[in-house]
Chains A and B, each alone.
Chain A
Amino acid sequence: MTEQTASKSEAEVIADLDAFAELPDAPPKRKFRLTWVGYTSCAVVVFWLAICFIGPSIAPFHEMDMDGDDSFLDAYSGEYGSFHLGTDYLGRDTLSRVLYGARNTIGISLAATLIAYLIGITLGILAAVKGGWIDMGISRVNDAILALPTIMLGLIVIAALGSSIPILIGTAAVIYATSVFRISRALGQDIMVQDYVEVAHTRGEGIWWIIRAEVLPNAAMPLATDFGLRLVFVVLFISSLSFLGLGVQPPASDWGSMVRDNLQGLTYGSWAAIWPALAIASFTIAINLIVDDISAKSGGSLAKKMV
Chain B
Amino acid sequence: MMLRMVWQRMGIGLVTLWVVSVIVFVATSILPGDVAQIILGQAATPETLAAMRAELGLDQPGYIRYFSWLGNMMTGDLGTSKAGGATISSLIGGRIGNTMMMAGLVAIISIPISIALGLWAAMHPGTILDRIVTFGTLSLISVPEFFIATVAVLILAVHLHWLPSTAYMTGDETFGQLIKALAMPLITLVIVVSAQMIRMTRAGILNVMSSPYIEMAILKGVPRGRIILRHAFFNAIGPIINVIALNLAYLVSGVVIVETIFAYPGLAKLMIDGVQTRDLPLVQACAMIFCGTYVVLILIADVGSIVSNPRLRSPK
Interface residue ranges, A against B (CB under 8 Å):
143-145, 147-153, 155-162, 232, 236, 239-240, 243-246, 256, 259-260, 263, 266-267, 269, 273-274, 277-278, 280-281, 284-285, 287-289, 292
Most buried by B among A149, A266, A285: A149
Complex CA distance for A232 and B143, rounded to whole angstroms: 9
Let me know if B19 and A155 touch, CB within 8 A.
Answer: no
Let me know if A259 and B150 touch, CB within 8 A.
Answer: yes
**7 closest A-B pairs by CB:** A151-B253, A144-B19, A281-B143, A159-B275, A284-B142, A288-B142, A277-B147
- Knowing A145-B23, A155-B275, A266-B154 are in contact, say whether A284-B257 is a contact too (CB < 8 A): no
Interface residue ranges, B against A (CB under 8 Å):
16, 19-20, 23-24, 27-28, 31-33, 138-139, 141-147, 150-151, 153-154, 157-158, 165, 249-250, 252-253, 256-257, 260-261, 271-272, 274-276, 278, 280, 283, 287, 290-291, 294-295, 298
Most buried by B among A152, A157, A236, A284: A152
Complex CA distance for A162 and B32, rounded to whole angstroms: 11
Q: Which residues of B have CB within 8 Å of A285?
A: 138-139, 142-143
Let me know if A159 and B144 touch, CB within 8 A.
Answer: no
Q: From residue B191, how far is it (CB to closest CB) to chain A in Å?
A: 14
Residue of B with least CB distance to A277? B147
Complex CA distance for A160 and B24, rounded to whole angstroms: 10
Residue of B with least CB distance to A158? B275
Residue of A with least CB distance to B284? A156
Complex CA distance for A160 and B32, rounded to whole angstroms: 8
Most buried by A among B147, B154, B291: B147
Q: From residue A142, how far is it (CB to closest CB) to chain B in Å?
A: 11
Q: From residue A184, how far is it (CB to closest CB) to chain B in Å?
A: 23
Complex CA distance for A161 and B283, rounded to whole angstroms: 13
Q: From residue A234, how far is it (CB to closest CB) to chain B in Å?
A: 12
Q: Which residues of B have CB within 8 Å of A240?
A: 144-146, 253, 256-257
Q: Which residues of A have CB within 8 Å of B150?
A: 259, 263, 266, 273-274, 277
Complex CA distance for A287 and B32, rounded to whole angstroms: 38
Q: Which residues of A have CB within 8 Å of B249?
A: 149
Let me know if B257 and A244 touch, CB within 8 A.
Answer: yes
Q: Which residues of A have CB within 8 Å of B145?
A: 240
Q: From residue B45, how far is it (CB to closest CB) to chain A in Å?
A: 25
- Knowing A144-B16, A288-B138 are in contact, say whether A280-B252 is a contact too (CB < 8 A): no
Let me know if A284 and B143 touch, CB within 8 A.
Answer: yes
Residue of A with least CB distance to B271? A155
Residue of B with least CB distance to A156? B27
Choose from A160, A263, A274, A281 the contact partner of B27 (Cβ within 8 Å): A160
Let me know if B275 and A149 touch, CB within 8 A.
Answer: no
Q: Decide if the interface of chain B is mainly helix, strand, loop or mixed.
A: helix
Choose from B27, B151, B276, B290 the contact partner of A149 (Cβ within 8 Å): B290
Complex CA distance for A266 and B256, rounded to whole angstroms: 21
Residue of B with least CB distance to A268? B158
- Knowing A151-B256, A160-B31, A266-B153 are in contact, say whether A246-B142 is a contact too (CB < 8 A): no
Complex CA distance for A260 and B145, rounded to whole angstroms: 12
Complex CA distance for A158 and B33, rounded to whole angstroms: 13
User: 13 A-B pairs, CB-CB below 8 angstroms?
Assistant: A147-B298, A149-B291, A152-B252, A155-B271, A155-B275, A155-B287, A160-B28, A239-B144, A240-B144, A243-B257, A266-B158, A269-B158, A280-B143
Let me know if A147 and B20 touch, CB within 8 A.
Answer: yes
Complex CA distance for A240 and B257, rounded to whole angstroms: 7
Complex CA distance for A282 and B99, rounded to whole angstroms: 31
Complex CA distance for A191 and B312, rounded to whole angstroms: 29
Let me know if A149 and B294 touch, CB within 8 A.
Answer: yes
Complex CA distance for A258 and B105, rounded to whole angstroms: 30
Choose from A155, A259, A260, A278 the contact partner of B283 (Cβ within 8 Å): A155
Complex CA distance for A152 and B252, rounded to whole angstroms: 9
Q: Which residues of B have CB within 8 Å of A278?
A: 147
Given contacts A144-B20, A244-B260, 13 further A-B contacts (CB under 8 A): A149-B294, A152-B290, A156-B287, A159-B283, A239-B144, A240-B145, A245-B276, A256-B146, A266-B165, A267-B157, A267-B158, A274-B154, A289-B138
Q: Which residues of A have CB within 8 Å of B278?
A: 159-160, 162
- Knowing A148-B20, A156-B24 are in contact, say whether A256-B144 is a contact too (CB < 8 A): yes
Let me know if A280 and B23 touch, CB within 8 A.
Answer: no
Most buried by A among B27, B141, B143, B272: B143
Q: From residue B91, how far is it (CB to closest CB) to chain A in Å?
A: 16
Choose from A160, A246, A280 the contact partner of B147 (Cβ within 8 Å): A280
Q: Which residues of B have CB within 8 Å of A150?
A: 253
Choose from A148, A155, A245 the contact partner of B23 (Cβ within 8 Å): A148
Complex CA distance for A289 and B136, rounded to whole angstroms: 11
Q: From residue B144, how far is it (CB to closest CB) to chain A in Å?
A: 5
Let me know if B253 and A277 touch, CB within 8 A.
Answer: no
Q: From residue B214, how far is it (CB to closest CB) to chain A in Å?
A: 16
Q: From residue A214, how far is it (CB to closest CB) to chain B in Å?
A: 31
Q: From residue A35, how far is it (CB to closest CB) to chain B in Å?
A: 12
Q: From residue B153, how far is it (CB to closest CB) to chain A in Å?
A: 5
Q: From residue A156, how far is it (CB to closest CB) to chain B in Å?
A: 5
Most buried by A among B24, B144, B252, B290: B144
